[in-house]
Amino acid sequence: MRTIELNKRQDQILQIVKENGPITGEQIAEQLNLTRATLRPDLAILTMAGYLDARPRVGYFYTGKTGTQLLTENLKKIYVKEYQSIPVVVNESVSVYDAIVTMFLEDVGTLFVTDGNSHLVGVLSRKDLLRASIGKQELTSLPVNIIMTRMPNITTCEKDDLLIDVAKNLIDKQIDSVPVVRKTSNGDLEVTGRITKTNITKAFVALVED
């Protein structure tokens, strides 16, 4: 398995370096009957992807890393802050009815709930709102803090966390999204972003396409 699809020339270069490395770009170009300038983009790609390493005055050599090792290394370089999106937040006193309207207008699957000081107090998922709607309650007068999942049972992440760790948490906890939070000096949590399954899917695709 490979993290990126190599083209024919890149495969040839890899083969040459495997057999002859360390080898200079000039020497690789000679073997392929190409100019050094023609090879430069391919060498850059192979080096960036981690297949080759370049040492000044020595040349290129093969790192021996497999596609899976490189994929793992690259996954561990993706942080929450690169993929987080804007959080949609409602106050704990708003009605279930208004929360449903907000969910449609903002086109999100999860709302984060804050108190009067903008600190995180709960989470509302689509099913939380559906569940509240099948009862006989009056939705316009039922506040969301009655039905939300509340602190301290909220799974959160921070902007400098690894995205792969958040992905594991989504699976373990069987949830669709987590708020990105910043801890205040009092230990309260401010919501600064959100990570959803969609963000993680985007990162997954970018990993292959980059």
- Residue from the set 178, 189, 191, 200 that interacts with ligand ADP by CB under 6 A: 178
Task: Identify the residue whose tokens are 């040349």.
Answer: 59
Token pair listed for 35: 């100019």
Binding of residue 168 to ligand ADP (CB under 6 A): no
Task: Name the nearest CA neighbour of 193 among 142, 141, 158.
Answer: 158
- Residue from the set 27, 91, 102, 149 that interacts with ligand ADP by CB under 6 A: 149
- Residue from the set 16, 54, 94, 175 that interacts with ligand ADP by CB under 6 A: 175
Distance from the first to the final alpha carbon of the chain: 16
For Cα atoms 145, 180, 79, give the angle at the middle one, nearest 5 degrees: 160
CB of 149 to ligand ADP, least distance (A): 3
Binding of residue 197 to ligand ADP (CB under 6 A): no
The smaller minimum CB distance to ligand ADP, of residues 40 and 182, is found at 182
Binding of residue 53 to ligand ADP (CB under 6 A): no
Q: DSSP class of residue 3?
A: S
Binding of residue 150 to ligand ADP (CB under 6 A): no
Q: 54: part of which helix (H) or strand (E)?
A: strand 52-55
3-state secondary structure of 43: helix
Within residues 87-116, the interface with ligand ADP by CB under 6 A covers 110
Task: Identify the residue whose tokens are 């099913």.
Answer: 127
Angle between helix axes 197-209 and 163-173 (nearest 10 degrees) is 140
CB of 103 to ligand ADP, least distance (A): 10
Task: Name the nearest CA neighbour of 163 among 125, 191, 190, 202.
Answer: 202
CB of 43 to ligand ADP, least distance (A): 44
Binding of residue 123 to ligand ADP (CB under 6 A): yes
- Residue from the set 23, 120, 154, 166 that interacts with ligand ADP by CB under 6 A: 154
Segment interacting with ligand ADP, rule: CB under 6 A, options 3-11, 87-95, 96-104, 146-154: 146-154
* Burial classification of residue 4, based on how many CB atoms lie within 10 Å of its CB (0-12 exposed, 13-18 middle, 19 or more buried): buried
Total residues contacting ligand ADP by CB under 6 A comes to 15
Query: Which residues here bind ligand ADP, judged by CB under 6 A?
Result: 110, 123, 125-128, 149, 153-155, 174-178
